[in-house]
Amino acid sequence: MRAIRRFIVQPVLPEPLRPLGDLARNLRWSWHPDTQEVFRAVDPDLWVSTGGNPLKMLSQVSPERLEALSHDRRFVRRLELIRDDLTEYLTGERWYQTWAAANPEAPKTIGYFSAEFGISEVLPQYSGGLGILAGDHLKSASDLGLPLIGVGLLYHHGYFIQSLNTAGWQQERYPLLDPNELPIAMLTDADGAPVIIEVEIRGVPVQAQLWVANVGRVPLVLMDTNLEVNSERERLITDKLYGGGSDHRLAQEVLLGVGGVRALREFCRVTGHSVPVVYHANEGHAVFMGLERIRERMVNEHESYDSAVEQVRAGTLFTTHTPVPAGIDRFGMDQVRSQFESFTPLPIDRVLGLGAENFSGGDPSRFNMAVMGLRLSQRANGVSELHGEVSRQMFQQLWPGFDVSEVPIGSVTNGVHGHTWVHPELQHLLESPVDDAAGIRDGWDWHALDRLDGSEIWTMKRRMRGQMITMARERLAASAAARGMSADWVSTALNPHTLTIGFARRGASYKRLTLMLSQPERLKALLNHPETPIQIVIAGKAHPADDIGKGLIQQMVQFADQDDVRGRLVFLPDYDISLAKPLYPGCDVWLNNPLRPLEACGTSGMKAALNMGFNLSIRDGWWDEWYDPDFGWAIPSVEMLGNQMERDAAEAESLYELIEREIVPRFYTRDSNGIPTAWVDMMRKTIAGLGPKVRATRMVRDYVKKYYTPAAASAGRVACNGTATELAFWKQKVRAAWPGVAVARVESRLPETVEVGSSHVVEAAVRLNGLSPSDVAVELVSGEVDAVDELRNVQIDRFELAGEDSSDDNVLFRLTDVSKAAGLIGYTVRVVPYHPLLASTAELGLAALAE
């Protein structure tokens, strides 16, 4: 017999214990060890059995235990101190308040949209790196005091739980999540009624209920369509993260973007929060938010479409995480037309034009979400310096006439949330009560290990390794039971004294999980060496529809099942936050061997580094910019090899050689006390050198300085006195005139050979086709030239207006150029639109080059 409805009966906390409820309802507990210890003290066994979920634990703790604790003066006093600490954290001034006071244009509120958020294992709304990054972004924004509001979807089943069958093939299970058991609260009006938004999806009005998770100081608003008022199909829009086909995915992204803006408006109305002036789309899943904001301005402010677009673009940031076109969400034009043809008053052809691949090599039948994100955002970025370069190359066709370096996509290298990912024992050592001494940032003393004896550091790392092994054995035993296999070997699996290499990431083929298996006998020799063995701990999920990725996992599991490998190389199923937290501190070396440059950033190696682990990685993503021999090893990448098998073989050979010749000897070379002194010295240098760089507080500061504050300033300027209308009219005028704009003539008395430091005059006669000289910038583009006269490493110099050309109606511009470098140099002249409200001269994608 099945129940038709379920609900939770929560115990009534005695008055002295009421702060427990407040602490449990704010996810700051998930990265605050002192709060976790308070919950653990309520009932240590129950804390473990409920998976460290405070709300679930409090719903099960006995009334007798609560009554006893309410009379425990020591516990109550400790609880009051933790509550007061949370109150100060939520209300006190932090870094952003100081920044905003010195920078009046800093935004009052920022809206941050993402399809997934990885905050805690008790709120499973994430699949991998994108979600973990979004969660770390919110946590760090909270730590810094940013007025940020997160917006996402509440998935009924979250992401799948992974297990393995007897053959090692991945199995997926989607448990149903009950919102009442999650650390979220329903958003209600003053009368207690649930706040509901409505969005038309696939021609049907869909209602969504709003839930709010408190991530420290940052609210996260989540939309849920699992309501009885909706039909079965519409209730399933928020069923699974990245589930279903193209129509389902489009429905989710419409809800995230269009519904997300409406949810944000309702949240601000109910709570009194300021409405955001800056909107950040974390990947292309959320960029439909721009359409809703355009619609709002057209309906509420009676603006034209073009004027509304300028308002929206000025305050929007788009972050791409995808280094390959195949990773971008693309829908059929007919799909998008059907969805938005009734989205009045927006003209459907203009909507479709935002995502059109109307460039060389594009597919006119597809609607590209990343292209739409770039066209509706005045600012855009990749997630590492290398990824910024790759993105500029990938999207250069949107800006013809401009060098790759000028494509307006910058970069902010990702970071990770230190309080979440650093082992508590190490965190305790690094935390500092002051924040203004040398080497101290955000209360972390990055030189703290310099004051510790090598044996103390080594003993601490060995404890971390042992704790990881305890976790691994528990998971291995459960996995063996689920696979119907004997678990006799599990109690001796892994060794706390052995060099431990970790590899954990999605099962995507470009990450090359099985590269280490290319020479199996050589690997077995390393694993079974009698004196200097290694051991490898592996984890990762493949997308449910990715049979290639599942096949790679199966290949690894079957290798791990071999008698002479079992217990030395292990695969841990169901890679999630609860697995990752002990895994990173327990590994000595973190392996990453993607096909360069397909790793956008790769933050798992950052988490390992924050726990005194060394990276052994292809120089891709963040490791490309911050690699240093003091922090680990770089696997040479041989991209020039066109044959994939040859490239894999060459890079695998380099991997083996680094392990055999450098890593193993350094780990096992000990002093008279058994301490690997060179290894420990690297641990000190890694924490001191990488620690401040890889933290997400640095990342969020970069966003504030490079993007959020400039975007708020742009939005403010465009909003003044009809400026958006004027800017829209100016762009229309420029686009209409541009086919007739040309560089009519270039004159220079430049000899074939010049000396460095010599100057020469260049004159350009430009046909403006009715535009004013103030509407354009005339530029000299110079640089090195290759055999076909293509310019490289370009430098841009701007001409000055010299007057009318006496011979015709052209306008004359003049530049005195100084030769700055020796070598074979070439140049050209171009005309680009210019307006003080443009973020760059490339913004319109228009350039007239000299023939």
- Decide if pLDDT at 665 tops 70: yes
H helix or E strand, kind and range, residue 602: none
Q: What is the pLDDT of residue 10?
A: 65
The label of the residue with tokens 């070396």 reads 589
- Decide if pLDDT at 752 tops 60: yes
Q: What is the pLDDT of residue 455?
A: 97
Give the number of other CB atoms < 10 A from CB of residue 849: 15
Burial label, 452 (beta-carbon count in 10 A; 0-12, 13-18, 19+): middle
Task: Please choose, from the candidates 650, 658, 660, 670, the residue with its C-alpha nearest in 3D space to the C-alpha of residue 525.
Answer: 660
Q: What is the pLDDT of residue 791?
A: 87
DSSP string, 340-393: HTTSTTS-HHHHHHHTB--STT--TTEEEHHHHHHHT-SEEEESSHHHHHHHHH
pLDDT band, very low/low/confident/very high, at 766 (cuts 50, 70, 90) = very high
Q: Is 92 helix (H, G, I), strand (E, B) or coil?
A: coil
Cα gap 499→359, rounded to integer Å:
51
H helix or E strand, kind and range, residue 33: helix 33-42
Instruction: Tell me what percent of the chain is helix, strand and coil, each rounded to the nearest 5.
Output: 45, 20, 35
- Decide if pLDDT at 91 tops 60: yes
85-94, 172-181, 353-362, 756-765: least confident range: 756-765
Cβ atoms 709, 105 nearer than 8 A? yes
77-81, 501-505, 600-604, 639-643: least confident range: 639-643
Cα gap 702→730, rounded to integer Å:
32
Cβ atoms 438, 446 nearer than 8 A? no
Q: What is the pLDDT of residue 436?
A: 61
Condensed to tens digits (0 to 9), the pLDDT of residues 254-301 reads 999 999 999 999 999 999 999 999 999 999 999 999 999 999 999 999
pLDDT band, very low/low/confident/very high, at 640 (cuts 50, 70, 90) = confident
Q: What is the pLDDT of residue 1?
A: 67
If you average pLDDT over each of 48-62, 177-191, 421-435, 554-568, which comes out highest? 554-568
Q: What is the pLDDT of residue 327?
A: 85
Beta-carbon contacts of residue 37 (< 8 Å; ≥ 6 apart): none
Cβ atoms 115, 252 nearer than 8 A? yes
The label of the residue with tokens 């370096």 reads 405
Instruction: Tell me the CA distances in angstroms from 343 to 135, 201, 411, one per residue in order.
Output: 32, 10, 33
Task: Please choose, from the candidates 772, 790, 773, the residue with its C-alpha nearest in 3D space to the C-alpha of residue 781.
Answer: 790
Q: What is the pLDDT of residue 824?
A: 81
- Decide if pLDDT at 818 tops 80: no
Question: DSSP alpha helices (H): ranges in 395-507?
Answer: 418-421, 424-430, 454-482
Cα gap 658→664, rounded to integer Å:
9
Q: At what angle do helices 677-694 and 696-703 cross, to 10 degrees?
A: 30
How would you classify the pairing of strands 379-382 and 366-368? unpaired
Ramachandran class of 332: left when φ > 0, alpha when ψ lies in -120 to 50, beta otherwise: beta
Q: Work out the average pLDDT over 679-705.
A: 97
Strand order in the sheet with 776-785: 791-798, 776-785, 825-833, 848-849
pLDDT band, very low/low/confident/very high, at 441 (cuts 50, 70, 90) = confident
Q: Work out the average pLDDT over 310-327.
A: 93
Cα gap 254→671, rounded to integer Å:
62
Cα gap 39→37, rounded to integer Å:
5
What angle (nearest 5°) sits at the alpha carbon of residue 672, between those of residues 528 and 676? 55
Token digits for 726? 């004027």
Cα gap 728→312, rounded to integer Å:
12
Q: Is 517 helix (H, G, I), strand (E, B) or coil?
A: helix
Q: What is the pLDDT of residue 435?
A: 66
pLDDT band, very low/low/confident/very high, at 805 (cuts 50, 70, 90) = low
- Strands (DSSP E) along 768-810, which ranges? 776-785, 791-798, 800-804
| SS3 letters across 476-505 | HHHHHHHCCCCCCCHHHCCCCCCEEEEEEC
Burial label, 433 (beta-carbon count in 10 A; 0-12, 13-18, 19+): exposed
H helix or E strand, kind and range, residue 750: none
Q: What is the pLDDT of residue 128?
A: 87
Q: What is the pLDDT of residue 432?
A: 83
Q: What is the pLDDT of residue 20?
A: 97
Token digits for 195? 């706040």
| SS3 letters across 810-851 | CEEEEEEEECCCCCCEEEEEEEEECCCCCCCCCCCCCCEECC
Q: What is the pLDDT of residue 849?
A: 95
Q: Work out the average pLDDT over 820-837.
A: 89
Question: DSSP alpha helices (H): ranges in 611-738?
Answer: 622-626, 644-658, 664-668, 677-694, 696-703, 709-718, 723-737
How would you classify the pairing of strands 379-382 and 410-411? parallel
Instruction: Tell me the CA distances in angstroms from 116 to 179, 411, 537, one per residue in order.
Output: 16, 21, 26
219-233, 442-456, 786-800: least confident range: 786-800
Q: Is 609 helix (H, G, I), strand (E, B) or coil?
A: helix
- Decide if pLDDT at 765 tops 80: yes
- Decide if pLDDT at 578 tops 80: yes
Q: What is the pLDDT of residue 243?
A: 82
Cβ atoms 710, 816 nearer than 8 A? no
Tell me the average pLDDT of the chain: 94
Q: Work out the average pLDDT over 62-91.
A: 96
Cα gap 238→235, rounded to integer Å:
7
Considering the chain, what percentage of its residues have pLDDT values greater than 90? Answer: 87
The CB-based long-range contact list for 400-405 (8 Å cut-off, 24+ gap) reads 400/359, 400/845, 400/847, 401/830, 401/832, 401/845, 401/846, 401/847, 401/848, 401/849, 402/842, 402/845, 402/847, 403/781, 403/783, 403/791, 403/794, 405/794
Token digits for 120? 């805690």
Q: Work out the average pLDDT over 42-52.
A: 94
Cβ atoms 222, 152 nearer than 8 A? yes
Cα gap 423→607, rounded to integer Å:
10
pLDDT band, very low/low/confident/very high, at 506 (cuts 50, 70, 90) = confident
Residue 671 phi, psi (nearest 5) = -85, -170
Q: Work out the average pLDDT over 646-674.
A: 97
Q: What is the pTM of this model?
A: 0.96
Condensed to tens digits (0 to 9), the pLDDT of residues 123-171 reads 999 998 999 999 999 999 999 999 999 999 999 998 999 999 999 999 9
Report which residue type is found at 638. V
